[in-house]
A and B are shown apart, each in its own frame.
Chain A
Amino acid sequence: MTATFNDRIDIALTVNGEAVTARVPAGQHLTDFLRLELGLTGAHASCEHGVCGACTVQVDGQAVRGCLMLAAQAEGSTVWTIEGLTDTGVVADLQAEFVARNALQCGFCTPGMLVAAQDLLCTAMAQGGEVPDRAAIREHLSGNYCRCTGYEAIVDAISAVAEARHAGTAA
Chain B
Amino acid sequence: MTMSNLQKALNSGAFVVTGELGPPKSAEREKIEHHGHLLGGVVDAVNLTDNQTAIVRTSSIACGKILVDMGLDPVIQITCRDRNRIAIQSDVLGAAALGIKNILCLQGDHANFGNEPAAKNVNDLDSINLIRALKNMRDEQSFIGGEKLAAPIDIFIGAVENPFADPFEYRAYRLAKKVEAGADFIQTQAIFDMERFERWMEKVRELGIHKKVPILAGVIPIKSLGAARYMKNNVSGMSVPDEIIERIKAAENKKEEGVKLCVEMIEHLKTVEGVAGIHLMAVAWEEIVPEIVERAGLLPRPKFD
A and B associate: no
* Interface positions of B (Cβ within 8 A of A): none
Binding site for B on A (CB under 8 A): none
